[in-house]
Chain A
Amino acid sequence: QQQVKQSPQSLIVQKGGISIINCAYENTAFDYFPWYQQFPGKGPALLIAIRPDVSEKKEGRFTISFNKSAKQFSLHIMDSQPGDSATYFCAASIPPYGNNRLAFGKGNQVVVIP
Protein backbone atom coordinates (compact mmCIF):
# COMPACT_ATOMS: atom_id res chain seq x y z
CA GLN A 1 0.00 0.00 0.00
CA GLN A 2 1.45 3.33 -1.09
CA GLN A 3 1.29 5.64 1.91
CA VAL A 4 2.23 8.73 -0.08
CA LYS A 5 1.12 9.28 -3.65
CA GLN A 6 2.78 11.65 -6.10
CA SER A 7 1.51 13.38 -9.20
CA PRO A 8 2.20 13.96 -12.04
CA GLN A 9 4.45 11.00 -12.87
CA SER A 10 6.61 13.09 -15.13
CA LEU A 11 6.91 16.75 -15.94
CA ILE A 12 8.57 18.70 -18.73
CA VAL A 13 9.30 22.35 -18.00
CA GLN A 14 10.97 25.11 -19.97
CA LYS A 15 14.08 26.67 -18.47
CA GLY A 16 13.04 29.52 -16.21
CA GLY A 17 9.60 28.08 -15.60
CA ILE A 18 8.02 26.75 -12.40
CA SER A 19 7.96 22.99 -11.70
CA ILE A 20 5.16 21.89 -9.39
CA ILE A 21 4.97 18.37 -7.97
CA ASN A 22 2.16 17.25 -5.70
CA CYS A 23 2.01 14.65 -2.96
CA ALA A 24 -0.99 13.27 -1.09
CA TYR A 25 -1.06 11.18 2.07
CA GLU A 26 -3.66 9.36 4.12
CA ASN A 27 -2.10 8.78 7.53
CA THR A 28 -2.77 11.81 9.75
CA ALA A 29 -0.08 10.58 12.17
CA PHE A 30 2.64 11.63 9.72
CA ASP A 31 4.51 14.57 11.19
CA TYR A 32 7.54 15.17 8.95
CA PHE A 33 7.43 15.71 5.20
CA PRO A 34 10.69 15.92 3.21
CA TRP A 35 11.35 16.14 -0.50
CA TYR A 36 14.35 14.32 -1.96
CA GLN A 37 16.12 14.80 -5.29
CA GLN A 38 17.79 11.87 -7.03
CA PHE A 39 20.07 11.85 -10.06
CA PRO A 40 20.74 8.63 -12.04
CA GLY A 41 23.25 6.39 -10.27
CA LYS A 42 23.14 8.44 -7.07
CA GLY A 43 21.35 8.16 -3.77
CA PRO A 44 18.52 10.57 -2.91
CA ALA A 45 19.55 13.93 -1.48
CA LEU A 46 17.40 15.92 0.94
CA LEU A 47 16.13 19.13 -0.63
CA ILE A 48 13.73 20.64 1.85
CA ALA A 49 11.43 19.43 4.62
CA ILE A 50 8.44 20.72 6.56
CA ARG A 51 6.41 19.89 9.66
CA PRO A 52 2.58 20.17 9.62
CA ASP A 53 2.49 23.18 11.95
CA VAL A 54 3.53 25.51 9.11
CA SER A 55 1.90 26.02 5.72
CA GLU A 56 4.92 27.00 3.67
CA LYS A 57 8.69 26.80 3.76
CA LYS A 58 11.11 28.33 1.28
CA GLU A 59 14.79 27.57 0.73
CA GLY A 60 16.34 29.29 -2.27
CA ARG A 61 14.40 28.31 -5.40
CA PHE A 62 12.56 25.47 -3.60
CA THR A 63 9.29 25.93 -1.71
CA ILE A 64 7.09 23.41 0.08
CA SER A 65 3.41 24.28 0.41
CA PHE A 66 1.52 22.23 2.98
CA ASN A 67 -2.26 21.82 3.23
CA LYS A 68 -3.06 19.86 6.38
CA SER A 69 -6.83 19.74 5.87
CA ALA A 70 -6.43 18.36 2.33
CA LYS A 71 -3.58 16.06 3.42
CA GLN A 72 -1.48 17.31 0.55
CA PHE A 73 1.87 19.00 0.12
CA SER A 74 3.70 20.19 -2.94
CA LEU A 75 7.16 21.15 -4.12
CA HIS A 76 7.62 24.26 -6.23
CA ILE A 77 10.87 24.76 -8.11
CA MET A 78 11.15 28.36 -9.22
CA ASP A 79 13.28 29.46 -12.19
CA SER A 80 13.82 25.81 -13.18
CA GLN A 81 17.23 25.01 -14.65
CA PRO A 82 18.44 22.07 -16.77
CA GLY A 83 20.49 20.98 -13.75
CA ASP A 84 17.21 20.45 -11.87
CA SER A 85 16.37 17.57 -14.23
CA ALA A 86 16.07 14.65 -11.81
CA THR A 87 13.61 12.40 -10.03
CA TYR A 88 11.90 13.95 -7.03
CA PHE A 89 10.48 11.92 -4.16
CA CYS A 90 8.14 13.07 -1.45
CA ALA A 91 8.21 11.19 1.81
CA ALA A 92 6.67 11.16 5.25
CA SER A 93 7.52 9.75 8.64
CA ILE A 94 5.57 8.67 11.68
CA PRO A 95 6.46 9.24 15.31
CA PRO A 96 7.95 7.71 17.37
CA TYR A 97 10.15 6.33 14.65
CA GLY A 98 11.78 9.68 14.05
CA ASN A 99 12.47 11.67 10.94
CA ASN A 100 14.24 9.01 8.98
CA ARG A 101 11.99 5.96 9.05
CA LEU A 102 10.43 7.28 5.88
CA ALA A 103 7.65 6.19 3.56
CA PHE A 104 8.55 7.40 0.06
CA GLY A 105 6.33 8.08 -2.93
CA LYS A 106 7.08 6.54 -6.32
CA GLY A 107 8.82 9.63 -7.60
CA ASN A 108 8.29 12.28 -10.27
CA GLN A 109 10.69 12.68 -13.15
CA VAL A 110 11.26 16.33 -13.98
CA VAL A 111 12.91 17.33 -17.24
CA VAL A 112 13.89 20.96 -17.75
CA ILE A 113 14.48 21.81 -21.37
CA PRO A 114 16.69 24.76 -22.39
Chain B
Amino acid sequence: DTGVSQNPRHKITKRGQNVTFRCDPISEHNRLYWYRQTLGQGPEFLTYFQNEAQLEKSRLLSDRFSAERPKGSFSTLEIQRTEQGDSAMYLCASSLGASGLREKLLFGSGTQLSVL
Protein backbone atom coordinates (compact mmCIF):
# COMPACT_ATOMS: atom_id res chain seq x y z
CA ASP B 1 0.00 0.00 0.00
CA THR B 2 1.32 3.38 -0.98
CA GLY B 3 -1.32 5.43 0.82
CA VAL B 4 -4.74 6.85 0.11
CA SER B 5 -5.35 7.09 -3.63
CA GLN B 6 -7.76 9.53 -5.25
CA ASN B 7 -8.89 9.72 -8.86
CA PRO B 8 -9.01 11.77 -10.91
CA ARG B 9 -6.44 14.31 -9.68
CA HIS B 10 -8.11 17.08 -11.61
CA LYS B 11 -11.62 17.47 -13.02
CA ILE B 12 -12.95 20.35 -15.10
CA THR B 13 -16.66 20.37 -15.76
CA LYS B 14 -19.38 22.70 -16.91
CA ARG B 15 -22.02 23.96 -14.53
CA GLY B 16 -24.95 21.59 -14.33
CA GLN B 17 -22.97 18.45 -15.11
CA ASN B 18 -22.57 15.52 -12.72
CA VAL B 19 -19.16 14.43 -11.50
CA THR B 20 -17.93 11.42 -9.54
CA PHE B 21 -14.70 11.04 -7.61
CA ARG B 22 -13.15 7.85 -6.32
CA CYS B 23 -11.11 7.17 -3.20
CA ASP B 24 -9.16 4.01 -2.44
CA PRO B 25 -8.18 4.02 1.24
CA ILE B 26 -5.35 2.10 2.86
CA SER B 27 -6.57 -1.47 2.70
CA GLU B 28 -6.80 -2.28 6.41
CA HIS B 29 -8.39 1.05 7.34
CA ASN B 30 -12.03 0.72 8.37
CA ARG B 31 -12.80 4.44 8.56
CA LEU B 32 -13.04 6.74 5.57
CA TYR B 33 -13.65 10.48 5.51
CA TRP B 34 -14.39 13.10 2.86
CA TYR B 35 -13.30 16.68 3.35
CA ARG B 36 -13.50 19.72 1.08
CA GLN B 37 -10.86 22.45 0.91
CA THR B 38 -11.20 25.78 -0.85
CA LEU B 39 -8.33 28.12 -1.62
CA GLY B 40 -6.88 29.74 1.47
CA GLN B 41 -8.99 27.68 3.86
CA GLY B 42 -8.54 24.60 5.93
CA PRO B 43 -10.32 21.34 5.07
CA GLU B 44 -14.00 21.12 6.01
CA PHE B 45 -15.56 17.83 7.09
CA LEU B 46 -18.19 16.45 4.70
CA THR B 47 -18.94 12.86 5.67
CA TYR B 48 -17.60 9.75 7.39
CA PHE B 49 -17.90 5.98 6.90
CA GLN B 50 -17.11 3.16 9.25
CA ASN B 51 -16.81 0.15 6.98
CA GLU B 52 -19.77 0.47 4.59
CA ALA B 53 -21.98 2.48 6.95
CA GLN B 54 -22.20 6.24 6.45
CA LEU B 55 -22.32 7.42 10.06
CA GLU B 56 -22.30 11.17 9.76
CA LYS B 57 -22.93 13.88 7.19
CA SER B 58 -22.11 17.56 7.52
CA ARG B 59 -24.68 20.25 6.80
CA LEU B 60 -22.28 21.23 3.99
CA LEU B 61 -23.32 18.08 2.17
CA SER B 62 -26.38 19.28 0.26
CA ASP B 63 -28.86 16.98 -1.47
CA ARG B 64 -26.76 17.25 -4.62
CA PHE B 65 -23.94 15.37 -2.93
CA SER B 66 -23.95 11.63 -2.31
CA ALA B 67 -21.24 9.35 -1.05
CA GLU B 68 -21.05 5.60 -0.99
CA ARG B 69 -18.67 2.98 0.25
CA PRO B 70 -19.91 -0.37 -1.04
CA LYS B 71 -18.40 -3.40 0.71
CA GLY B 72 -16.42 -1.11 2.98
CA SER B 73 -13.55 -0.71 0.55
CA PHE B 74 -13.30 2.17 -1.96
CA SER B 75 -15.63 5.14 -1.80
CA THR B 76 -17.21 7.43 -4.37
CA LEU B 77 -18.40 10.99 -3.98
CA GLU B 78 -20.90 12.20 -6.58
CA ILE B 79 -21.97 15.79 -7.11
CA GLN B 80 -25.07 16.29 -9.23
CA ARG B 81 -25.90 19.49 -11.13
CA THR B 82 -22.57 21.07 -10.24
CA GLU B 83 -22.41 24.76 -9.35
CA GLN B 84 -19.46 27.14 -9.50
CA GLY B 85 -19.41 27.18 -5.71
CA ASP B 86 -18.56 23.48 -5.77
CA SER B 87 -15.10 24.29 -7.12
CA ALA B 88 -12.68 23.02 -4.49
CA MET B 89 -10.20 20.31 -3.60
CA TYR B 90 -12.02 17.19 -2.43
CA LEU B 91 -9.90 15.26 0.01
CA CYS B 92 -10.35 11.68 1.11
CA ALA B 93 -8.77 10.34 4.27
CA SER B 94 -8.74 7.02 6.05
CA SER B 95 -7.83 5.68 9.45
CA LEU B 96 -7.73 2.49 11.44
CA GLY B 97 -10.14 3.02 14.28
CA ALA B 98 -8.35 3.15 17.62
CA SER B 99 -8.58 5.05 20.85
CA GLY B 100 -6.62 8.04 22.00
CA LEU B 101 -3.85 9.45 19.90
CA ARG B 102 -3.26 6.18 18.09
CA GLU B 103 -5.89 6.87 15.43
CA LYS B 104 -4.08 8.77 12.69
CA LEU B 105 -5.94 10.30 9.79
CA LEU B 106 -4.07 9.85 6.50
CA PHE B 107 -5.11 12.05 3.59
CA GLY B 108 -4.90 11.44 -0.13
CA SER B 109 -3.67 14.12 -2.53
CA GLY B 110 -7.20 15.13 -3.41
CA THR B 111 -9.27 15.76 -6.53
CA GLN B 112 -9.26 19.37 -7.69
CA LEU B 113 -12.66 20.24 -9.14
CA SER B 114 -13.16 23.29 -11.34
CA VAL B 115 -16.71 24.13 -12.37
CA LEU B 116 -16.88 26.54 -15.31
Q: How far is the CA of A106 from the CA of B100 in the complex (A)?
A: 25
B42 touches A104 (CB 8 A): yes
**Given A98-B103, A104-B44, A43 contacting B108 (CB threshold 8 A):** yes
- Residues from chain B with a CB closer than 8 A to the CB of A104 are 41-44
B40 touches A43 (CB 8 A): no
Q: How far is the CB of B92 from chain A (nearest CB, A)?
A: 8
Q: How far is the CB of A23 from chain B (nearest CB, A)?
A: 11
Within 8 A of B (CB), among A99-113: 99-107
Q: How far is the CA of A99 from the CA of B93 in the complex (A)?
A: 13
Does A46 touch B at the CB level, under 8 Å?
yes
B33 touches A100 (CB 8 A): yes
**Given A43-B91, A43-B109, A105 contacting B56 (CB threshold 8 A):** no
B107 touches A44 (CB 8 A): yes
The interface residues of chain A, by DSSP majority, are classed as: loop
B44 touches A99 (CB 8 A): no
Does B113 touch A at the CB level, under 8 Å?
no
Does B95 touch A at the CB level, under 8 Å?
yes
Q: How far is the CB of B44 from chain A (nearest CB, A)?
A: 7
Set A45, A102, A107: member contacting B45, Cβ < 8 A: A102
> Contact mask A30-46 → B, CB, 8 Å, 1/0?
00101000000111111
- When C-beta atoms are compared, the residue in chain A nearest to B101 turns out to be A49
Does A75 touch B at the CB level, under 8 Å?
no
- When C-beta atoms are compared, the residue in chain A nearest to B89 turns out to be A43
A residues bordering B, Cβ < 8 Å? 32, 34, 41-46, 49, 51, 89, 91, 97-107
B residues bordering A, Cβ < 8 Å? 4, 31, 33, 40-45, 48, 56, 91, 93, 95, 97, 100-101, 103-110
Top 7 closest A-B pairs, CB basis? A104-B42, A43-B107, A100-B105, A99-B103, A89-B42, A104-B43, A43-B109
